Amino acid sequence: MAYREFVSLIHKSTPRDYLARVTQRDKAEVAELAIKYDYDYWDGSRETGYGGYRYDGRWRKVADAMASAYGLEPGMRVLDVGSGKGFLLHDLRESVPGIEVAGIDISAYGVAHTMDDVKPFCRVGTAAEL
């Protein structure tokens, strides 16, 4: 299957000063916090992770592009490895009503804070456990 890239639809739409962000604070200290994939990573400051990873609808562009590229239809199933808080899964369900979704993430915090409508379909684990 050919490589397809969807995330740039949202990542390239926002200007970022990566260098300023990574030099703001000791990189080793930040890595120690981020690698736990808990509050600091998801909802802490921008220095240690996403800086408050809240649903804002931006993943809908990605969901729509994926649905179109793969011909997703109701009844089909999608697994999101690294589902985080479930934003892409939520938007896939809106983009393709009737699609079945599942998510897995190594972050217990991320899964615990997954959007309510997709939380029943997500669990903590690794791809190796699938």
Task: Note the pLDDT tens digit of each residue in 17-48.
Answer: 666 666 777 878 888 888 889 998 899 887 77
Q: Please give the Cα distance from 11 to 21 (Å, whole number).
A: 16
What number of residues does the chain have?
130
Segment 62-86, tens digit of pLDDT: 999 999 999 999 999 999 999 999 9
* Verdict on whether the full-model pTM lies above 0.95: no
